[in-house]
Structure 1
């Protein structure tokens, strides 16, 4: 007995439908393949910032043009025309009367004597520095032995450094003792008094001659409890 397929079980009738579905799926797969973007985690990313199209603002500086003063009028003077054909003797003409024999002494102009220029400005950096008798250690000992701590500064607890300036003269004397920066309480005056009482120093030298030298000296006042 021959077996027959029913119309519902026969797939030949649905062949065109399956073909259309397969074609649609194929087109979708191709479209997705073109639209798919792969990202490399190690790739360099470039960020583009949108530029601001706002024009730059400038501050306008107005310069006032100065009017130039009028050019003064120069009067036109007549020009004297000299005839170059006339010979002129450049040598001075001296008329000497032979009958008058007069001896003319030699003229020797007297030149003014130039006074020597002496610069009394103290030198700050001489070739050879001035020196206290015996050196720096002797100067420190002299200051320590002669400076007396002022009672006012002692009672009020004032201590610090008094900065002095003085000039060592060419003969070694100390002059022009001034306080550059003081601390008060009588310490400034005491430091000036002791420096003025210093013995003569060995003077400074500049260009093989003794000169005035400016010298700075800090004097420290310290209280010990």
Structure 2
């Protein structure tokens, strides 16, 4: 029986060389594919492009002001030499040394002007609280004062229409002073909006004249603080 393969032909003889050649060819094709560059063929109309031949940078104008020269020095005043022949009247200074023989001046009675002190006592510490009209016969004038104050606010209170339309609400802290004559003064306010502060000032401004508070029987100023709440339902 004859063998199928020719023993003289060895296919594995050049196998390594063919492998290296194929590998080199593949690497070469890969390199060419990665380094391949293509460009768009676009024709530019250089004549139609408005390009200035020379770009001129505009330098901002700077004006330098020269300060004025300093004023000339003031000439020293002229010194006039007085004539020695002129008689100068000298002032005679009397000695103020006193002796036993020096008469003593009689001192009249000195009247000391009484300075009226501007005393201010808080409402919570005042001995005799200010009397709100209608509280003259009340046993607890302090509680009656606060009750009548709240009644006055509820009676005079008006919610500003502009504040209602804008949805403004909050609490306005008001502080005023009941003067020595029972009038209202030194009104101060602090609130969330000027509209509410104006209405609070109007309410306090309509307070009636009261009997002033007294400390040790003397009328004094009494500061009072009350908040006014503006709330939309």
TM-score between both structures, scaled by the size of structure 1: 0.49
